[in-house]
A and B are shown apart, each in its own frame.
Chain A
Amino acid sequence: MKTVSSRKGERTVRRKVIFVLCSLCAVLGFFTVLSVNKVLNSEWELPSAVSSDQERQRIVLITQELDTPFWKLVGQGAAEQAEREDVGFELWGSYGKNQEDFLKQVEIALHSKVDGVIVQGHDTEEFQQLARIKAASYGIPIITVANDVPVEKSLRKTYIGSDHYAAGELLVEQLVADMGTSGEMVLLGDAELEYSERLRLDGMEDSLARYPEIRSTYIESGSSDEEAADAAQQALNEHPNVDAFILLDIRQARVVMQEISSRTELEPFYLYSFDDGSDASALLTEGKLDAIIEQSPEEMGEKSVEMMMKWLRNEVVPLDSKGYVTDIRIVEGKDELP
C-alpha cells in the first residue's frame, strides 16, 4: 500500500515527464517546420527556358584585343545596344593580338551562320579572304569597327569608328601647340601597321608637311616589349636632341617611357599617343603622357550594333560604305579621362 506522499511524488514525476516530453516536442517541431520549409522553398535555379521558339538574331563582335579597356568599352556599348534591340549578342575575340585565334573566331562565327559579324578590322590577306569569300558565301554582313579594312579588300558593309587620318592631324596640331613649330620628333610604330595606324601616320605626315621646321623620324618598334624597348634606345641614341615622341601603339607606351626615364628625365619630352590601350588613362593621370587622342569606344559599339540591325531589318540599304565616324578629341595630361 502506497502512502499519500509517495503517490503525490509519483504524480509530480509524471507531470515532469510529460512536461519535458512536450517541450522537447515543441522545440523539435519548431525546428522541423523550419527545416521542412527550407527544403520545400529552396527551388533549384535552373536556367530559364527559351522564351520563344523563334530564334533571335545573333550578332557577334570579334576583336583581337579583348584585354584592353578600350575594347571592353566597345563590347559594353554594343551589348547595351543589343539589349535595346533585343538581339542576341556575344563578344568574342583573342587576347594580345593573337591573330591566329582571332581568325579562327571569325571563321567559327561564319560557320555558325550568325546573322551579323562586327569585327575589328584586320588588314591581312587571311582576314580579307574570310571576309570576302566565306562571309559572302554564307551571306553574312560584316561591319568593321574601330579599325577599318578598305571596302574593296574586305567587302565590309560599313565602318564604324574614328577618322584616324583626322586623329593624326589633330595630334600634330597638339604637338605644334605644345612644342612650337620647330623641333625634332620620333614616331614609334608597330612592325605591321594596322590600316588605322597607317591612316594616323598618313594624317600626321601630311600635317607635318606644313611645318618644315619639325624633323620627324619614323622608327619601327616591333611587336614585343623587348623590341619596343630597343626601338626607344635606338631613338635616343640616334636622335639625342629629340623633343617629342608619338607612339602609334599605346601598348608600347609604358615600356618606351621606362626606357627613356632610365636614361634621362622624362619631363622635357613631349609624349603623345592614341587611346586604345590599357595604360592610357593611368599614364595620363600620372602626367607622363602629355596628350592622347581619345576615341569613343562605347559609341562605336552602340553604333555598330545599331547599323547592323538597320541593315538586317533592311531599314538602311545600302549602308554608307565610307563609314560612320565617331567622336575623337584630344585629352591632355593630368586631365582625367572620363
Chain B
Amino acid sequence: MNTIQKKIWMLAGIVIVMMFAIWLALTFYNQKMQDQYNDILQRYLQMNEVTASSQQTVTNLNDYLSNPTARSATTLASSQKRLQDAQASLLELRNADNEFSLTNYSNMIESFIETVERSAAFSEQGENDIAASEFTEANRMSVYISEMTLSIFNSELRTYERFYRDIIRQSQELNTMGILLLSLTSVLLLLFTYLFSLSITKPVHQLTKAANELAKGRFDQPIRVNSNDEISFLAKTFDHMRVNINKLIMEIQQKAQVESELQESQLLLQQSQMRHLQSQINPHFLFNTLNTLSKKAYLDGAEDTSDLLVSVAGLLRYNLKRLDHTVTLEEEAHVLTQYMDIQKARFSDRLTFHIDLDPAALVYQMPSLTLQPLIENAVIHGIEPKEDDGEIWFRIKEEDQHIRVEIEDNGQGMDEHKIEQLLTGGIDPQEGHATGIGFANVAKRLQLFYGSDDVIKIESMPQCGTKIVLKLPKVTEVESYV
C-alpha cells in the first residue's frame, strides 16, 4: 500500500536528489574551470620564473666575477640550478601553437647558461677580459629572455583568448542553464505537490461526500474511494460500518414487524376471547345442566338425546378451555365430530357428513378451535340454505411437507369477491354460530401461528360448493403460544 508517509518521503527524496544532482554538476564544472585557470596561471608563473631566475643568474654572475669566492660560486650555481629547473618545466608547456617559440626559448636559456658557465670558467682561469665580454653577452641574452618571455606571454594570451571567451560564454550558458533548471525544478515540484495534495484531498472529498450521504440516511450506496493509501483504508472501514449499520437497521425493522404482528395476534385473541365470554353466560352451569339433562334423557330411555347432550357438553368444555393452547389434530377432529353429531341431529337427512382421517397426520399440533368454526361456516352457509342432499367432506392427509386438511361442502358456493371478504374479515359471524369465532379470525390465527400466508385457501364458485384447503406445516411441539 502506498501510504501518505511514503508519498511525502518520495516527494522529499525527488527534491533532494534533484538538488544534489544540480549541485554536483555545478561543483564539478566549477572545479574543472578552476583547474583550467590554475593550469594557465601556472604557465605564466613558470615563464615568469625563467625571467626571474635568469636575471638572478646575471646578478649572481656579476657578483661572482667581481668577487670570486666559494660562497658567490655556490649562489651562482644555485641560481643556475633554479634556471635549469625552470627550463625543464617549460617542456610541459609546449603545444602545437607555441612549439616553435618555446623550443627557441628553451634553447635560448640553454645558450644563456652556457654563456654564463663560459664566463665563470674564463674568470676562474684569470681571463677576465673574455669573462667580461661573455658576461656582457649573458646580460644581453638575459634581456632577450625577458623579451621573449613577454612575447610568449603575448602569444599565449592570443592563443588562450579564444579559450577565455569560451569559458566566459560557457559560464554565461551555465547561468542560463542554472536559471532554467531552477525554474524547471520549481515547476515540477509545484506539479508534484499539486498532484500529491490532490491524491490526499480527493479521497477525503469522496469520503466527506459518502459521510454526508450516510448522514442523510442513505445506507444503501457503497462508498468508493479511488486511492491506495490510508484514506482508502479508512473508506473501507467506513463502508464496512455502513454495511453493518444497514444490517442492524434491517434487523430492527424485522423485529419491529414481528412485534407488531405479535401485538396483532394478541389483539385477535383478546377479541375472540371477548366474543367467547359474551357467548358463555355461565358455561359451567350450562355444562352441568347439560350433563344432568343427558342423564335424565338416558334414564327416560331417550338415548339419542342423551348422546347429543354429551356431545354438546363435550363441545362446550372444549370451547371453554382450549382457546389459547395448541391441540393435536386428533383433538380438533374429535371436537369436529362431536359438533357434526349435533348438526346431524339438527338436519337429520338433509346432511351427510363424510370423514376421512389419516391417522399419521393426527399427531401434529395446531391452534385450537380452528377447524370447528370452519366447518360451522360450511354448515351455516353451505347446508342451511339448501333443501336437501347437503354433504360435507372432511379430510386430513399427510403430505411431504405439510398436512392437508380439506373441508368441502356442496352448497351454493360464493364468488371471488365474497371469498376476499371472508378472508379479510369483511363478514361478521352470524347468529347461530357455536363459538362466534369468524372465518377471518381463524385464518389470521393460522397465519400468525405458522408464520406463513398461504396456510388457508378457499376454492369456490357460485352454485358449485366450497372447498377450504388448509396446508399446515408439520409442527410437533410448541413451546409457547400466547
Contacts and interface: CB of A to CB of B under 8 A. Distances in A.
A32 B100 contact: no
Interface in B63-119: 94-101, 103-105, 107-108, 110-112
A337 interface: no
A97 B99 CA distance: 28
B163 A28 contact: no
Interface of B: 29, 36, 94-101, 103-105, 107-108, 110-112, 140-141, 144, 148, 159, 162-163, 166-167, 169-170, 173-174, 176-177, 180-181, 183-184, 187-188, 190-191, 194-195, 198, 212
Contact of A18 (B108, B170, B195, B212): B195
B184 A113 contact: no
A178 B132 CA distance: 61
A167 B299 CA distance: 199
A111 B108 contact: yes
Given A14-B198, A88-B100, A35 B176 contact: yes
A107 B105 CA distance: 13
A325 B163 CA distance: 46
A48 B163 contact: no
Interface stretch (A39-47, A67-75, A146-154, A251-259): A39-47
A111 B111 contact: yes
A49 B95 contact: yes
Contacts of B173: 35, 38-39, 42
Given A29-B184, A32-B180, A45-B166, A111 B96 contact: no
Contacts of A113: 104, 107-108, 110-111
Interface residues of A, number: 40
Contacts of A24: 187
A50 B111 CA distance: 23
Contacts of B110: 113
Contact of A55 (B29, B97, B103): B103
A1 B213 CA distance: 10
A28 B183 contact: yes
A44 B160 CA distance: 10
A45 B96 CA distance: 13
Contacts of A108: 104, 108, 144, 148
A89 B99 CA distance: 11
Contacts of A25: 184, 187-188, 191
Contacts of B148: 108
Nearest to A58: B100
A88 to B, nearest CB: 5
A35 B162 CA distance: 21
Contacts of A35: 173, 176-177, 180
State the main secondary structure of chain B at its contact with A: helix
A44 B180 contact: no
A45 B181 CA distance: 26
A51 B96 contact: yes
Interface of A: 1, 14, 17-18, 21-22, 24-25, 28-29, 31-32, 35-36, 38-39, 42, 44-51, 55-56, 58, 88-90, 104, 107-109, 111-114, 138
A112 B90 CA distance: 15
Contacts of A38: 173, 177
Given A108-B108, A111-B144, 5 more contacts: A32-B181, A50-B96, A111-B112, A112-B111, A114-B104
B170 A39 contact: yes
A57 B129 CA distance: 36
A107 to B, nearest CB: 8
Nearest to B190: A21
A253 B141 CA distance: 39
Nearest 10 CB-CB pairings of A with B: A112-B104, A113-B107, A47-B95, A28-B184, A35-B177, A21-B191, A47-B97, A32-B180, A111-B111, A48-B96
Contacts of A51: 96
Contacts of B181: 32, 36
B99 A56 contact: yes
B174 A31 contact: no
A111 B100 contact: no
A56 B96 CA distance: 11
21 contacts: A1-B212, A17-B194, A18-B194, A32-B184, A38-B177, A39-B170, A39-B177, A44-B36, A47-B97, A47-B159, A49-B95, A50-B95, A51-B96, A58-B100, A58-B103, A89-B100, A107-B144, A112-B104, A113-B104, A113-B110, A114-B107
A88 B104 CA distance: 11
A44 B163 contact: yes
**Most A CB within 10 A of own CB, among B95, B98, B104:** B104
A36 B179 CA distance: 11
B161 to A, nearest CB: 10
Contacts of B187: 21, 24-25, 28
A32 B177 contact: yes
B166 A42 contact: yes
Contacts of B29: 39
A45 B162 CA distance: 7
Contacts of A109: 104
Contacts of B194: 17-18, 21
Contact of B95 (A22, A48, A55, A58): A48
Contacts of A46: 95, 163
Contacts of B195: 18
A50 to B, nearest CB: 5
A39 to B, nearest CB: 5
A112 B107 contact: yes
Nearest to B169: A42
B244 to A, nearest CB: 25
A122 B56 CA distance: 35
Given A18-B194, A58-B100, A58-B103, A44 B170 contact: yes
A28 B103 CA distance: 52
A253 to B, nearest CB: 34
A50 B166 contact: no
A12 to B, nearest CB: 14
A49 B96 contact: yes
A305 to B, nearest CB: 14
Contacts of B97: 47
Contacts of A39: 29, 170, 173-174, 177
A7 to B, nearest CB: 8
Nearest to A29: B184
A44 B191 contact: no
A228 B180 CA distance: 69
A45 B191 contact: no
